Amino acid sequence: MVVASILVAPMAQAEFRFGVKAGANISNFIVEGENPKLDFENASLANFTGGLSLEWIIWGGLGFDAGVMYTAKGTEYKVGDDLLSGIYTELLGTESLMKATVHYIEVPINLKYRLEIPVVKDIIIPFVYAGPSFAFKVGQDVSFGNNILEDTKVDFSNIDYALNVGLGVELFKHLNVAAQYGWGMGKVADTDMEILGQKIEGLDMKSGVWTVTVGWMF
């Protein structure tokens, strides 16, 4: 009975809330490793994110944060300044190789800590969180700088998973403003690309995403 009382007491103080949030992210599909045949430069793209949020604070400001979010991640690949890249740009009149945006339903699951200072907690509560997210592909938009690349195969993975770390503030017990960075942990896509007779393969692309959101907790 004593053990049960110790376990149940924190649960009685638990606080469960749900809400909505929306925001923007700046993402990039980062090519890891070097390909000797072509020098790539990545340009980040801005996209929208939004969805539902759940919060379960168990005890002393410590709890969990989860959600179901629509999010889009993408990048634009441009040629660099090596010899092959210069020939490509001169012949085709463009330096853009490919622009890609992948649409996901993302499920983040975070451990969260709210710093509830008694004097000001009704006005402002800082918080931090970290945890994994799992993004399930629902669509993709891919365009190329020139029709010479129309036969290029880009197969984006059906699932992208990442590790997120973020911080934010809750204002007046309802309004949440947060910023986070997500490190992609899995390979985003497989490519089969040929440019001017040079086959480009073995690219290891991983996502990197900065996200800022504004939410309202009920």
Domain-embedded: residue 1: no
CB 149 within 8 A of CB 196: no
CB 181 within 8 A of CB 166: yes
For residue range 13-68, list pLDDT tens digits in order.
688 999 999 999 999 887 765 554 555 567 889 999 999 999 999 988 999 999 99
Nearest Cα to 217, choosing from 119, 125, 107? Answer: 125
Average pLDDT in the chain? 82
Domain-embedded: residue 8: no
Domain span holding position 40: 14-217
Asked if the model's pLDDT at residue 5 lies above 50, the reply is: no
For residue range 29-40, list pLDDT tens digits in order.
877 655 545 555
For the chain, helix, strand, coil in percent to 5 are: 10, 65, 20
Domain-embedded: residue 136: yes
Domain-embedded: residue 35: yes
Domain-embedded: residue 184: yes
The mean pLDDT of 188-211, rounded to a whole number, is 71
Domain-embedded: residue 170: yes
Domain-embedded: residue 107: yes
Query: Which strands, in side-by-side order, build the sheet including 189-195?
Result: 153-156, 189-195, 198-200
Asked if the model's pLDDT at residue 175 lies above 80, the reply is: yes
Q: Residue 160: which CATH number?
A: 2.40.160.20
Number of domains in the chain: 1
What are the residues whose beta carbons fall under 8 Å from the beta carbon of 26, sequence distance 6 or more?
44, 45, 46, 209, 210
Domain-embedded: residue 3: no
